Amino acid sequence: MFGGLHAFPLTPMPDDVLDEPALTGLIERLAAAGIDAITVLGSTGSYAYLTAAERARVVELAVAHAGDTPVIAGVGALRTSQVLRHLADAEAAGASGVLLAPMAYQPLTEAEILGLYREVTAATDLPVMVYDNPTTTHVEFSVELYGEIAALPGIAAIKIPPVPLEPEPARQRVEAVRAAVPEHVQVGISGDHAALAGLQAGCEIWCSVLGGTLPEPALAITRAAQAGRWDDARNAADRLAPVWELFAACGGSLRGTIALAEQLSLVPPGSLPAPLQGPDAAARRCAAEVVDACGLAGEGFG
């Protein structure tokens, strides 16, 4: 697919309505920063909360404002027919690839998960990234299932959950995934706090929540890792420790990112789709402290 930094921006939804100027502002700053790909409608993009029309519009706007930066569109949904509609909309908008999470209300069997990917890959020529995010989708992948899905034509990458922070367990995890999938299928790491561990263990892609709002610090880590400058990468990651602490304090990266984005006036207040709520007073204070501690407003982000 597109190795390097994949930035996952928010979908601003103040008053439960898509804020097109705020979204295009986020997309344009990502393209200007020089990230490797923009992935809209991931979990950070609140895809599960949006209508089909809203999702189609998000992809249209992203492609229109991303310049030469490839746009990958999340197409996950509960029903296969809905996935195929989102896929068709993404193709019509000019997306360069799709991200597919198998969502579940009823638990899915491995045969059902494999069947979903088989139908989607048969329906498109776009490269497909497998999205393994059990926290939000309630779907568990085995390494063996990775291998079965990755053997399908059109599967280009697998986005795996965070690896252990210790180098040897992280290496073992990534090597197990790598051994199960064809060589051309890239492995992407998610969970920003574990990104460096994943990159050092052999992941080719960082699927970054932070990068969707603050691309420069995420790029600093990514480019140092790609060059094998591990001390520089570690130093850059260590400087972001207050960000990971903010994410934990907010109960997850989505709410933590919203707190940062509001603090930096990148999105308006109340940008999460209801019933999700934005940062409370404590989270806003914490976000302000993080911006100061990490020097984010002083590096062209504010």
| pLDDT classification of 19: cutoffs 50, 70, 90 | very high
Secondary structure of 164-226 as H, E, C letters = CCCHHHHHHHHHHHHHHCCCCCEEEECCHHHHHHHHHCCCCEEEECHHHCCHHHHHHHHHHHH
CA distance 93 to 210: 25
Q: Does the pLDDT of residue 32 top 50, yes or no?
A: yes
Nearest CA to 183 among 222, 207, 206, 151? 151
Question: What percent of the chain stands above pLDDT 70?
Answer: 98
pLDDT in tens, 177-192: 999 999 999 999 999 9
Instruction: Note the pLDDT tens digit of each residue in 263-283.
Output: 999 999 999 999 999 999 999
Across the range 133-149, mean pLDDT stands at: 93
pLDDT at residue 273 in the model:
96
> What is the arithmetic mean of pLDDT over 209-234?
97
**Predicted local confidence at residue 138, as pLDDT:** 86
Distance CA 174, CA 166 (A): 12
In this predicted structure, the answer to whether residue 1 has a pLDDT above a threshold of 80 is no
The answer to whether the beta carbons of residues 181 and 158 sit under 8 Å apart is yes
**pLDDT at residue 301 tops 60:** no
**Encoded tokens for 131:** 């999205």
pLDDT digit string (tens) for 77-127? 999 999 999 999 999 999 999 999 999 999 999 999 999 999 999 999 999
**Nearest CA among 168, 203, 200, 171 for reference residue 189:** 203
Instruction: Determine the pLDDT at residue 2.
Output: 87
At 9 the three-state DSSP class reads: coil
pLDDT of residue 111: 97
Share the mean pLDDT of the chain: 95
Write down the pLDDT at residue 114: 97
Most confident of 1-5, 80-84, 280-284, 293-297: 80-84
Quick one: pLDDT band at residue 296, thresholds 50, 70, 90?
confident
Residue 299 has pLDDT above 60, yes or no: no
* pLDDT tens digit sequence for 191-203: 999 999 999 999 9
Q: By 3-state DSSP, what share of the chain in percent is helix, strand and coil, each rounded to 5?
A: 50, 10, 35
Q: How confident is the model at residue 297 (pLDDT cuts 50, 70, 90)?
A: confident
Query: For residue 128, what are the β-bridge partners?
Result: 98, 155
Average pLDDT (205-213) is 97
